[in-house]
Structure 1
Amino acid sequence: MLNLIIKDTFNKELPADSIQENTRRQVTEACFSFVTPKKTSNPKMLHVSDEMAKELGFSAEEIASEAFKNVFTGNEVYPNTYPYAMCYGGHQFGHWAGQLGDGRAINLFEIVYNNKNWALQLKGAGETPYSRTADGLAVLRSSIREYLCSEAMYHLGVPTTRALSLALSGDQVLRDVMYDGNAAYEKGAIVCRTAESFLRFGNYQILAARGDVKTLKTLVDYTIKHHFSNLGNPSKETYVSFFKEVADRSLEMVIHWQRVGFVHGVMNTDNMSILGLTIDYGPYGWLEGYDDGWTPNTTDNTHKRYRYGAQPEIVLWNLYQLANALYPLIEEAEPLEAILEYYQEKFPEVYIQMMREKLGLFSSKETDDKLVSDLEEVLQKTETDMTIFFRLLANVSKKDTVQEAIKKIEKAFYTPSEFVDEIKLAWEKWCQNYLERLQNETTSDKEKKAKMNAVNPKYVLRNYMAQLVIDDADKGNYTLLNELYELLKKPYDEQPKYEKWFAKRPEWARNKVGCSMLSCSS
């Protein structure tokens, strides 16, 4: 038996859907619907995050128990708990989509351990009233990507939801990976995700869009009480402060994305956490070659709305939508507009400071803006691996010549033969300016390297790495799954035994589905 301290608040303090049947429908004047996970035919626990299990208070005996497996695959409902799916709406690719909701996520319960509150949720545990035409299930492929990525992001220092467990359901699930008419059966899987809360911008948007100000106020007051209690009792001033803190957290999150080269791929408002966490790992990816316009999502290939370089402005656009949703409680546009303007003004400041740290510059000079913009331009003249470039740049010394500096970073170039003429001159010019800028720094080369290596990861979860895990797992081999899980716990450390993963994307992965091409079912 599991020994959990249950402290459910969401499904006790907020209005529930009055209809009990699990049928697809519009759910009004409610924040959630009660729903029971689907029992699976032959569940098997593949991996449990030892760190997350410890954080939640699970013992080794509990993790190995049948009860753990059954609860976290949806085959048993923990006593005196009432699973539910959230109701929310959202803008998808810039267009209002109306009601969306937890179509394949079921919230099990909330627990308290070491004075921390955690909501635990199963992804892929069956249909809900919000599943529309889908089956509410998930496949091993996408579940591995979610499981590894959320834990990898946590260790990179990026605000994120986390994962407790990854399990096979024992069932087959039909999926059309690239939406091209080639559907096939895949292994079903379930991930247990955890966070302080899974509330998103869309939870508030759907209520405002329906003119349900009463439920909107109830939800906002609940959110402040449990997740922003430092702001005080509900009032118009508190609601403005709440929006300001959401903006601050969202800005911090996206700055971290840009720092490590992470591209979310589908930044719809229903995928924006109210707590500023990275949420919903679908067609994500890390930059291989530095490309401001890259997006991993094939659905977004034409317009590239959610490309790497646009992510900060998309966060702002999404904040505008949240401001519109909160307006009925504040009834004044000016304070909300002031916060949005603050975000616009603040972003360049925090971005340039983040880039200074990546470059090993710990003082401030007006010319830094140009140094950074010139770098962003030269990085795209020839395909240059972002992660490897910044990691190798830490080895550049103040005393180096331009040619010595280039020698130290050349491993980051995908096609060294292109490093001639205009491209070579551009890199030489930038390196010269960078070396001159380093002369203004008082830190030693050793100290600079240590500080740079603390913000520039050596290892990230490249899509080809995740695909190798998926390919092995499809054959029943989970050794690589555990190897990458361990590797990604210490992304800033050298880890000599894993040096093979400090490498550019192999050529075979350039145009392979799952490596360069991903869909929302990924």
Structure 2
Amino acid sequence: MSLAPSQSPANAPQDPSVLNWTNRLTQLGPRFFTHLQPSPVAAPRWAACNEALRTELGWPAQIFDEEHLQALAGNALMRGSQPLATVYSGHQFGQWAGQLGDGRAIWLGEAQSSQGPQEIQLKGAGRTPYSRGGDGRAVLRSSIREYLCSEAMHGLGIPTTRALSLVASPEPVRRETLETAAIVARVAPSFLRFGHFEHFAAQGDTESLRLLADHALLHHLPECQERAERWQGNLYAALLDVVQERTARLIAQWQAVGFCHGVMNTDNMSLLGLTIDYGPFQFMDGFDPAHICNHSDHQGRYAYGRQPNVAYWNLYCLGQALSPLIDDQDMTLQVLEGYKSLFPRAMGDAMRAKLGLVGDWAPESDREADWTLVEDLMQLMAAEKVDFTLFWRQLSQAVVQKSTASTLTDAGWSLVTDLVLDRPRLLAWLARYTTRAGQPNFAAMGQHMVKTNPKFVLRNHLAEVAIRQAQTGDFSEIDTLYNLLKSPFEEHPGFEAYADLPPDWAGQLEISCSS
């Protein structure tokens, strides 16, 4: 890396290693973004460096040296980067919000990697023309949550933006109280959102809308070329179709691990079907379909059980934005109808997998009956708000022990039965489940289940402990959680407490949009 001359501190070492920048987004032109510089922060220091991601991407080790610290704090520029903030619009809590844009995320550029071109953003790097009166900063509290949760989702196999680094600064930032600043360097093949398309559609700027869609088709969603055959060669209908399929699978994966996003506005929906914008998220503790994780969501629009329908509503907004390009309203509606079958199928597959019903053990003829089995279990769990993650993990371990239907009261099944009060109801369900599974399959099914149902997720109280320690200057708990969450299906002996039921004080934590 070499720093741009205008940003170079005196006597700064000049490292010949550089990222190979392509910056294809800049080719769209100034209607899509504003060039600007990140705003420096005082006394930056590394809070976390994601060596695993760096290695996966094939980027040089120097990315985490002191020179790069300045660049990833927003205090200097890597030569070849072209920092900018993009403009987009969107619907927020169901209402049209008009022009939005990158208010605290500054796009550095697009760098080649062993996994293809990757865009890099600095979240919390200062004001942009789209900050809407805000300071453009992110606080350490929310930045720790984003850093850990994006890597936790990756560990779970759920599509997500990634976090390359977390930089902390003592610079004060005012939220509900006075906090300190932080910058997350996040990475993704593209940060395009539904809202980018809504922006130009709302302006009636079909030319820019087409340029943006063609950019996505060429660089990010090449499978649309083949999908277009389904839609009479209409590439823009294929674009909507591919996006809705990716979205359906993503939401099914969220539901299957009990993940609540908290603020599913259209400007927080990724065109590539990635989990993006970690704010007031939560992995549920006690299972409750009506659970609201965002204390700013007073109407419960983004409650856990409503996420699938909200995703469809957001896709409908995207369809409306793309309709000038598709140029066939009936076709647009026909494409959107696909979600109504895509999501239930993806959800069914995800929940059957949690029960070990995959491959030859999951014939299509049993799909409807298996879903009834799932629904009955979920109703039982909801009635008592059974801990979601712990129940599925304990069920997996019970199956590994090869318990049989004739011994449902033995010690092996107590892993599960001890979690509920209505034991007769659970035993009746277990009898149905074991009959469906068949004893000869149990050992192999159980091994699949422990690789599907995580032992560790980023519960709110775990993140809170890491935050409180980090606010004293101790970042060690961030690394501890990262190492558990990057392999959440492993046992990690000695760290059992991180998989326990949450403490009583966890129920008092409130996470809002400012988080």
TM-score (normalised: structure 1): 0.90
Instruction: Compute the displacement of 1:104 (Å).
Output: 0.4
1:409 paired to 2:416: yes
1:348-363 equivalent positions in 2, closer than 5 A: 348-361=344-357, 362-363=361-362
1:158-169 equivalent positions in 2, closer than 5 A: 158-169=158-169
Size of the aligned set, in residue pairs, is: 485
Superposition CA RMSD, Å: 1.7
1:28-177 equivalent positions in 2, closer than 5 A: 30-60=31-61, 62-114=62-114, 116-176=116-176
Instruction: Compute the displacement of 1:77 (Å).
Output: 1.5
Change (3 A) 1:381 1:115: closer
1:136-174 Cα offsets, whole Å, 9 max, x none, are: 001100000000000110010000000000001331101
Task: Give the alignment partner of residue 399 of structure 1, picking from 389, 401, 404.
Answer: 404
- Asked if structure 1 preserves the Cα contact closer than 8 Å seen for 2:417 and 2:426, the reply is no
Change (3 A) 1:315 1:35: same
- Segment drifting more, 272-281 vs 77-86: 77-86
Equivalent position of 1:504 in the other structure: 501
- Asked if structure 1 preserves the Cα contact closer than 8 Å seen for 2:118 and 2:190, the reply is yes
- Distance across 2 between alignment mates of 1:127 and 1:412: 49
Change (3 A) 1:222 1:249: same
Instruction: Compute the displacement of 1:208 (Å).
Output: 0.2
1:462-481 equivalent positions in 2, closer than 5 A: 462-481=459-478
Instruction: Compute the displacement of 1:280 (Å).
Output: 0.2
Equivalent position of 2:8 in the other structure: none
- Asked if structure 2 preserves the Cα contact closer than 8 Å seen for 1:44 and 1:170, the reply is no
- Distance across 1 between alignment mates of 2:237 and 2:246: 14
1:222 paired to 2:218: no
Instruction: Compute the displacement of 1:432 (Å).
Output: 2.3
Equivalent position of 1:22 in the other structure: none
Give secondary structure in 2 for the equivalent of 1:379.
Answer: helix
The letter of the residue matching 2:46 is: M
1:6 paired to 2:13: no
- Distance across 1 between alignment mates of 2:142 and 2:339: 33
1:202-248 Cα offsets, whole Å, 9 max, x none, are: 00001001101111011111111111234349997111111111011
Give secondary structure in 1 for the equivalent of 2:96.
Answer: strand
Change (3 A) 1:369 1:479: same
Change (3 A) 1:80 1:303: same
Task: Give the alignment partner of residue 329 of structure 1, picking from 325, 332, 349.
Answer: 325
Task: Give the alignment partner of residue 199 of structure 2, picking from 190, 193, 206.
Answer: 206
Give secondary structure in 1 for the equivalent of 2:383.
Answer: coil
Change (3 A) 1:64 1:216: closer
- Asked if structure 2 preserves the Cα contact closer than 8 Å seen for 1:406 and 1:431, the reply is no
1:65-102 Cα offsets, whole Å, 9 max, x none, are: 22210110111112243200010011111111001100
The letter of the residue matching 2:264 is: M
Equivalent position of 2:250 in the other structure: 253
Give secondary structure in 1 for the equivalent of 2:117.
Answer: strand
- Distance across 2 between alignment mates of 1:363 and 1:330: 38
- Asked if structure 2 preserves the Cα contact closer than 8 Å seen for 1:88 and 1:101, the reply is yes
- Distance across 1 between alignment mates of 2:387 and 2:122: 35
- Asked if structure 1 preserves the Cα contact closer than 8 Å seen for 2:403 and 2:413, the reply is no
- Asked if structure 1 preserves the Cα contact closer than 8 Å seen for 2:253 and 2:347, the reply is no
The letter of the residue matching 1:367 is: A
- Asked if structure 2 preserves the Cα contact closer than 8 Å seen for 1:406 and 1:428, the reply is no
1:240-389 equivalent positions in 2, closer than 5 A: 240-300=237-297, 302-361=298-357, 362-364=361-363, 365=366, 366-389=368-391
- Distance across 2 between alignment mates of 1:189 and 1:369: 44
Instruction: Compute the displacement of 1:459 (Å).
Output: 0.5
Instruction: Compute the displacement of 1:446 (Å).
Output: 1.8
Instruction: Compute the displacement of 1:442 (Å).
Output: 4.9
1:473-492 Cα offsets, whole Å, 9 max, x none, are: 01111111111111111101
Instruction: Compute the displacement of 1:115 (Å).
Output: 5.7
- Asked if structure 1 preserves the Cα contact closer than 8 Å seen for 2:49 and 2:64, the reply is no
The letter of the residue matching 2:43 is: N
Identity of aligned residues (%): 41
Instruction: Compute the displacement of 1:494 (Å).
Output: 1.1
Instruction: Compute the displacement of 1:406 (Å).
Output: 4.8
- Segment drifting more, 135-144 vs 476-485: 476-485
The letter of the residue matching 1:54 is: T
Equivalent position of 1:24 in the other structure: none
Change (3 A) 1:64 1:32: closer
- Asked if structure 1 preserves the Cα contact closer than 8 Å seen for 2:354 and 2:392, the reply is yes
Runs of 4 or more, structure 1, over 6 Å off, are: 233-236
The letter of the residue matching 1:6 is: W
Give secondary structure in 1 for the equivalent of 2:41.
Answer: coil
- Segment drifting more, 80-89 vs 464-473: 80-89
The letter of the residue matching 1:331 is: D
- Distance across 2 between alignment mates of 1:224 and 1:68: 33
- Distance across 2 between alignment mates of 1:63 and 1:53: 8
1:257-314 Cα offsets, whole Å, 9 max, x none, are: 01111110000000000000000000000010111111210011x3211111111111
- Distance across 1 between alignment mates of 2:136 and 2:204: 29
- Segment drifting more, 402-411 vs 231-240: 231-240
Give secondary structure in 1 for the equivalent of 2:458.
Answer: coil
- Asked if structure 2 preserves the Cα contact closer than 8 Å seen for 1:386 and 1:412, the reply is no
- Segment drifting more, 308-317 vs 234-243: 234-243
Instruction: Compute the displacement of 1:510 (Å).
Output: 1.3
- Distance across 1 between alignment mates of 2:115 and 2:281: 33
1:163-205 Cα offsets, whole Å, 9 max, x none, are: 00000133110111xxxxxxx2111110000000100000000
Equivalent position of 1:21 in the other structure: none
- Distance across 2 between alignment mates of 1:246 and 1:190: 29
Instruction: Compute the displacement of 1:424 (Å).
Output: 3.3
Instruction: Compute the displacement of 1:133 (Å).
Output: 1.2
1:452-463 equivalent positions in 2, closer than 5 A: 452-463=449-460
1:5-36 Cα offsets, whole Å, 9 max, x none, are: 1111101x1121xxxxxxxxxxxxx1111111
Unaligned runs of 5+ in 2: 1-14
- Asked if structure 1 preserves the Cα contact closer than 8 Å seen for 2:57 and 2:115, the reply is no
Give secondary structure in 2 for the equivalent of 1:108.
Answer: strand
The letter of the residue matching 2:331 is: P
Give secondary structure in 2 for the equivalent of 1:380.
Answer: helix
- Segment drifting more, 2-11 vs 363-372: 363-372
